[in-house]
Amino acid sequence: MASVRVLFVEDEDLIRLIMKEFLQENGFEAVEVWNGEEAVRLLDGPDGFDVLFTDVQMPGALDGIAPAEQARRRCPEIPVLVVSGYAENLVSRLRNLDPPAVLMSKPYDLAVVADTLRRLTGRL
């Protein structure tokens, strides 16, 4: 079975590097970027992703919801996992995605992240 291709969007360098290694150790193909603009650029490119895993708070003009919206325009059924330390402020924006994104609060448990990504992509 082919590995699940994850686009991971996180602006904190250490978290991004740790999560990339963790995802790869758990059988995912992880492509990591540090902001919403870079995520949207990759989502507009020729390489597809099986799931988008994004933080919300990002530097630059686009937050983490913008890549989720772009991913859904390109592939309406792509699963989206959104993480934030400010989860209560995002519920209404995430409900506008169809189907809704999965919201996980920070700090998150790594095993729960891996299980959630597998469940979202049907790879349990």
Residues 12, 35: contact at Cβ < 8 Å? Answer: no
Nearest of 1, 8, 27 to residue 118 by alpha carbon: 27
User: How many structural domains is the chain composed of?
Assistant: 1
Report how far residue 113's alpha carbon sits from residue 19's, in angstroms, rounded to the nearest whole number: 10
Residues 54, 82: contact at Cβ < 8 Å? Answer: yes
Question: Residue 83 sits in a domain of what CATH number?
Answer: 3.40.50.2300
Its domain, for residue 96, covers: 4-121
Tell me the per-residue pLDDT of 79-120, one tens digit each, with 9 for 90 and over: 999 988 766 666 666 666 667 688 888 889 999 999 999 999
Nearest of 103, 63, 111 to residue 85 by alpha carbon: 103
- The 3-state DSSP class for residue 74 equals helix
Of 1-10, 13-22, 37-46, 54-63, the least confident: 54-63
